[in-house]
Amino acid sequence: MPTQTPVSLIKPLNRLFGSIDITIAPNNASMSFSAQQLPSTYYMDDTNAFLRLRPLHRSGFGMFERATRVVGLYVGNWDGNASYQVNSQNAAEVIFRNLGSTANDIRTAIQNLVNGQTLTTAQLITQNTAVVAPPIVNQVVYINDGAMQGTIWGGNAAVTGSRYQPMCVVDATTINDRAHTGHAFATRPLVEQFYTVYYPGLLDQMMRLGYSAQSLAIAIGANGLPVTEQVTTDREYFPRSAFGDNRQRQLEFMCRFFGSFV
């Protein structure tokens, strides 16, 4: 059942991480985060209920809430018809790291990756632009400096041809279910910094979904009275098709929409 706003899961205390679009030059010589995006953020409370807040997408804005969720990171060819478990064990096609199904486990797994094997962005570019790529020793690395700081990359000879690729978020209701695959993983500090730099105050405005009711007023006909509909989870609002398939127009509207929250 959809939950009407306010949705208690949506609060900074419950924020675990985000996902972000990475622009990679064709020759791998540079990587950047496009400013023309609103990264998704992921939440879990102490009961381990889960929510993905997706502000901008071709299919529209949405808040997707689940009573349970298992979360991981992957690089490679994820089979959308197979389960989370089957894909996670397919080492020939996928480099995978499980984060867990509880808030505590996910925080711990992320911290372990951050504290584990690391590369700088410069070292990442050196590996990916080598004419003959050196063998990759550490399959999963945290980027601890430079433009890609706050992301996690994976690579090996079999799956990526010894070039590192961004590890993306994957999540499912249980390990035996098919999974949702998302964009590149971003640590909580990275996604919060992105909003601070490019959209100051906007992430705070989105948190109003968690502590006050938000609604849409829809005019019905030239002489009709507006109809008010409360914003809920598990629905999609304002798809890109409503803006002539123009991403920039959709982005600008969503910024105004979130900015209107009270």
Whether 113 is in a domain gets the answer yes
Instruction: State whether residue 25 is helix, strand or coil.
Output: coil
Q: Strands 118-119, 140-143: parallel, antiparallel or unpaired by DSSP? A: parallel
The confidence score (pLDDT) of residue 1 equals: 83
Evaluate if residue 17 carries a pLDDT over 80.
yes
Whether 180 is in a domain gets the answer yes
Whether 23 is in a domain gets the answer yes
The confidence score (pLDDT) of residue 137 equals: 85
Q: Which of 182, 126, 121, 178 is nearest to 146 (CA)?
A: 121
Whether 105 is in a domain gets the answer yes
pLDDT digit string, tens, across residues 18-65: 999 999 999 999 999 999 999 999 999 999 999 999 999 999 999 999
Whether 173 is in a domain gets the answer yes
* pLDDT-based confidence at residue 186 (cuts at 50, 70, 90): very high
Residue for token pair 């096609």: 93
The confidence score (pLDDT) of residue 221 equals: 67
Whether 67 is in a domain gets the answer yes
pLDDT digit string, tens, across residues 194-252: 999 999 999 999 999 999 999 988 777 667 678 888 999 999 999 999 999 999 999 99
pLDDT digit string, tens, across residues 113-127: 999 999 999 999 999
Mean confidence (pLDDT) of the chain: 96
Q: Which of 84, 103, 15, 53 is nearest to 261 (CA)?
A: 53
Evaluate if residue 167 carries a pLDDT over 80.
yes
The confidence score (pLDDT) of residue 227 equals: 84
Domain extent at residue 126:
12-199
* pLDDT-based confidence at residue 71 (cuts at 50, 70, 90): very high
pLDDT digit string, tens, across residues 138-165: 899 999 999 999 999 999 999 999 999 9
The confidence score (pLDDT) of residue 123 equals: 97
- Can you name the residues that pair with 142 across neighbouring β-strands? 118, 152
Evaluate if residue 66 carries a pLDDT over 70.
yes
**What residues have CB less than 8 Å from 207, skipping those under 6 apart?**
10, 11, 12
Number of domains making up the chain? 1
User: Omega of the bond prior to 6 within 30 degrees of 0, cis?
Assistant: yes
Whether 255 is in a domain gets the answer no
